[in-house]
Structure 1
Amino acid sequence: MISPDPFTPARLGPLTLRNRLIKCATFEGATPDALVTDDLVEFHREVAAGGVAMSTVAYCAVAPEGRTDRNQIWLREEAMPGLRQLTDAIHAEGALAAAQLGHAGPVANSVSNRKKALGPSRIPAPMGMSVTHKLDADDIAAMVATFRRAARIAVDCGFDGLEIHCGHNYLISCFLTPLLNHRRDGYGGSLVNRARFAREILAAVRDEVGDEAAIWVKLNMYDGVGRPGPGHGSRFGGFNIDEACAVAQLLESDGHIDAIEPTAGSSLLNPMYLFHGEPPREEFADAFRGAMRTGLKVAAPFFLKHYEYHDAYLLPLARQLRAAVRLPLILLGGITDRTSMDKALAEGFDFVAMGRALLREPDLPLRIRADPTTTSRCVHCNLCMPTIYSHTRCPIREGEVPDPLALV
């Protein structure tokens, strides 16, 4: 196939993006009062000015108990003025704004939130050192309505796109995986039953916003437990690519989404499968206090595994998803240069998403567009990971002395 130019406009549902580059959702750690701050606005303004077509704001929790920490934004009337300021700043740089809508489920910190963590079953919620409250039928219906309300707030605040978080063993993802969903009702057991919660949420969100916004899902392809290939999904192996393809086909047949962003890994079980590269074990443990710090220092070699980094590292799994559906796909994972962009687009992916590379160089897209031989300065050390608990940044960039010629 001939690769489309990544810097030409492209359609995503009702939207026209100025190019095919999206800033993926990476929690910014810039909302100490669970409200938009000037730091958060500048974080996304800088990325928008750097050349991406859309910047995704994370993490926009749909409910207060759905946060991994109480400092994260949750969508409510009080947050709306700041969110409007944020989307205005992104739009002023010529980019579009997306909101990642999600509920952390068992990844939520019940101690910080002072609310019980939720799950499809009673399963461990390690951030709060507790177990989850199992959602009953009424709870599920209320959660669907909560996602609907959050979608309306986001669109009313000027967001052009809505990314529904169905990955990393957050709440919706937990319903999908047999490793964590042990239900015996209409939301558990078969894959169709396990996908029901996600489908009801997406139907409600689309019904609420219509064509006022593009809607896509961040969908896990593999939890990082057991083997990722076809035929290995089980209660003990978790969710993997064969089930992901089947879920993607169900979502496509429903007609409520405009795209899928494939992802992988589990914030509960195997976070490094999403990131690849060096695991910052000591730095990650030091971001916590007390028993959590001690526990992470002991468990770090098992919890933060090492996966060799290579460009477009999620592409092998995502190829299988690409073959399963016709929906537009957004490839993330190691997109750092023109070569990886061209490779993804040539294989039928419609957009590419960038994360860590933009923390190091927010203007990397403009530089690649000006010179296709430009290489990213990100070294995949993952030292940015622990900074989400203070203020998300690239520590290497932070420690560099600015080039005086760059300031002229």
Structure 2
Amino acid sequence: MSDIFEPARLGPITLRNRVIKSATFEGRTPDALVTDDLIEYHRAPAAGGVGMTTVAYCAVAPGGRTDRHQIWMRPDAVPGLRRLADAVHAEGAAVSAQIGHAGPVANAASNRSPALAPTRLFSPLSMKMMHRPDAAALREVVQAHADAAGYAEQAGFDAVEIHFGHNYLVSAFFSPLLNRRRDEYGGSLRNRARLARDIAMAVRDRVGDRLAVTAKLNMDDGVAPGLHIEESLQIGRWLQDDDALDALELTAGSSLLNPMYLFRGDAPRRSFARAFPPPLGWGMRLAGPFLRAYPYQEAFLLDMARQFRQELTMPLILLGGITSRETMDLARSEGFEFVAMARALLRQPDLINRIQANDRPRSLCTHCNECMPTIYSRTHCVLTRDRVAG
């Protein structure tokens, strides 16, 4: 077993170590374009020792954003993304763009564009019905992912991560709860997985072996009767057989229906309610009890992820509760090629350098999750001094 801090291959690229800063929306793009503040957000963990940082969320279309402030991939975005890539590369790290379509998690009122869902659903964000795309519109979504990957390549990025999780559009198609279609994109699991497989192949065809291509895949939605692990394992097998991806990052939960299933620890209900204007804020106060809290523990997704490691031979990235050298070494001993982390790096961007210098430094992240509501303004750890734009 190689050390977590030794260089490692991810498809066609080599990372200086096996630690990836996972994608968490930064809230630092008020005009849907890269800012100096966003560059610093990613430069800091790169200087702090990660092998690769992931920019989120790079929507493939204007209507694919959770709100209009997020980057969407287009020619105007390339110069700023290139500056970001150059800053990360100067610190010795690689950079990935998380590309995807928010689907039912998109705010149609903010985006001024209809939200998409596998079947017509009511959106509490926009207070409107969502749009059900037909087969031709879904082919446009596939093409938009390929185009987004092309823009990432133009900007000098090393990798793209396709978002197949959290009940964003592709993940919503997986779900038997959200996908009630009776065409070639609904019904059987093979049909529900069609959009994901088409997107992965289109992205690979666009970037060839010039970029690494990964996907963030839900293992379980944490909602009945959503996607469960047995079906997700089969999707993983199909994605492996298609040979379009260099690795899978394993995740869980639904941003639409059960967000705390991924973010273990405290549920910041009051802070979420304060983050939204009326009437949505009032709704959040009423819905607060439904933001179920799950206790935090290190490597909290490992039990589910083990089943993927047993079934698949492709490289896997373990996410969830990775804050110490011991947990990183555990992941390697279990056969996971990479680990991904986010909240601990938000508190301490230099945590990886600290761990390399001393095997047993304590992460200062308290798992209060008060950082989560800050994504609607400017993502930051509320326990640090980094609270205003630099």
1:272 partnered with 2:270? no
Which residue identity does 1:265 align to in structure 2?
Answer: G
User: Which runs of 4 or more aligned residues in structure 1 lie more than 6 Å from their structure 2 counterparts after TM superposition?
Assistant: none
How much does 1:399 deviate? Answer: 7.8
**What is the SS of the residue equivalent to 2:125?**
helix
Residues in 2 aligned to 1:262 and 1:98: alpha-carbon distance in whole angstroms: 16
Q: What does the per-residue CA deviation read over 1:69-119, in whole Å, with 9 as the maximum and x for residues that have no partner?
A: 100000011111101000000000000000000100010000100010011
On the 8 A contact 2:160/2:213 being kept in 1, the answer is yes
1:345 corresponding residue in structure 2: 332
**1:110-121 mapped onto 2 (5 Å cutoff):** 110-121=108-119
**What is the SS of the residue equivalent to 1:141?**
helix
On the 8 A contact 1:155/1:209 being kept in 2, the answer is yes
Residues in 2 aligned to 1:193 and 1:18: alpha-carbon distance in whole angstroms: 39
Q: Which runs of 5+ in 1 are unaligned?
A: 227-236, 401-408
How much does 1:398 deviate? Answer: 2.4
Residues in 2 aligned to 1:399 and 1:251: alpha-carbon distance in whole angstroms: 40
1:310 corresponding residue in structure 2: 297
1:257 corresponding residue in structure 2: 245
- TM-score, normalised relative to structure 2: 0.98
Which residue identity does 1:143 align to in structure 2?
Answer: V
Residues in 2 aligned to 1:320 and 1:122: alpha-carbon distance in whole angstroms: 33
Q: What does the per-residue CA deviation read over 1:272-292, in whole Å, with 9 as the maximum and x for residues that have no partner?
A: 001000000000110000011
1:362 partnered with 2:349? yes
How much does 1:126 deviate? Answer: 2.2
On the 8 A contact 1:359/1:394 being kept in 2, the answer is yes
1:390 corresponding residue in structure 2: 377
Q: What does the per-residue CA deviation read over 1:341-396, in whole Å, with 9 as the maximum and x for residues that have no partner?
A: 01111000000001000000000000000000111000000000001011111000
1:50 corresponding residue in structure 2: 48
Which of 62, 66, 69 is 2:67 aligned to? Answer: 69
How much does 1:137 deviate? Answer: 1.0
On the 8 A contact 1:241/1:321 being kept in 2, the answer is no
1:292 corresponding residue in structure 2: 280
On the 8 A contact 1:221/1:263 being kept in 2, the answer is yes
Which of 237, 245, 248 is 2:233 aligned to? Answer: 245
Which residue identity does 1:197 align to in structure 2?
Answer: L
Residues in 2 aligned to 1:279 and 1:244: alpha-carbon distance in whole angstroms: 26
How much does 1:397 deviate? Answer: 1.3
Which of 336, 341, 348 is 2:323 aligned to? Answer: 336
Change (3 A) 1:47 1:399: closer
On the 8 A contact 2:380/2:386 being kept in 1, the answer is no
Q: After superposing the two structures, state which structure 1 stretch, 51-60 or 116-125, moved more.
A: 116-125
Residues in 1 aligned to 2:41 and 2:145: alpha-carbon distance in whole angstroms: 26
Which residue identity does 2:385 align to in structure 1?
Answer: E
Q: After superposing the two structures, state which structure 1 stretch, 306-315 or 128-137, moved more.
A: 128-137
On the 8 A contact 2:143/2:202 being kept in 1, the answer is yes
Residues in 1 aligned to 2:314 and 2:120: alpha-carbon distance in whole angstroms: 34
Which residue identity does 1:133 align to in structure 2?
Answer: H
**What is the SS of the residue equivalent to 2:262?**
helix
**What is the SS of the residue equivalent to 1:127?**
coil
**What is the SS of the residue equivalent to 1:128?**
coil
Residues in 2 aligned to 1:31 and 1:184: alpha-carbon distance in whole angstroms: 39
1:231 corresponding residue in structure 2: none
Q: How many residues align?
A: 387
On the 8 A contact 2:266/2:368 being kept in 1, the answer is yes
Q: What does the per-residue CA deviation read over 1:225-261, in whole Å, with 9 as the maximum and x for residues that have no partner?
A: 13xxxxxxxxxx1101111100000000001000000
2:93 corresponding residue in structure 1: 95
Residues in 2 aligned to 1:340 and 1:171: alpha-carbon distance in whole angstroms: 32
How much does 1:120 deviate? Answer: 1.1
**What is the SS of the residue equivalent to 2:379?**
coil
1:156 corresponding residue in structure 2: 154
Q: What does the per-residue CA deviation read over 1:213-234, in whole Å, with 9 as the maximum and x for residues that have no partner?
A: 00011000111113xxxxxxxx
- TM-score, normalised relative to structure 1: 0.94
Which of 318, 322, 330 is 2:309 aligned to? Answer: 322
Which residue identity does 1:154 align to in structure 2?
Answer: A
**What is the SS of the residue equivalent to 1:290?**
coil
**1:191-270 mapped onto 2 (5 Å cutoff):** 191-226=189-224, 237-270=225-258
On the 8 A contact 1:4/1:342 being kept in 2, the answer is no
On the 8 A contact 1:4/1:346 being kept in 2, the answer is no
2:4 corresponding residue in structure 1: 6
Q: What does the per-residue CA deviation read over 1:139-167, in whole Å, with 9 as the maximum and x for residues that have no partner?
A: 01111111111110111101101100000
On the 8 A contact 1:144/1:204 being kept in 2, the answer is yes
1:230 corresponding residue in structure 2: none
On the 8 A contact 2:266/2:293 being kept in 1, the answer is yes
Q: After superposing the two structures, state which structure 1 stretch, 290-299 or 122-131, moved more.
A: 122-131
Q: In angstroms, what is the RMSD of aligned CA positions?
A: 1.0
Which residue identity does 1:388 align to in structure 2?
Answer: I
Residues in 1 aligned to 2:321 and 2:123: alpha-carbon distance in whole angstroms: 29
How much does 1:124 deviate? Answer: 2.6
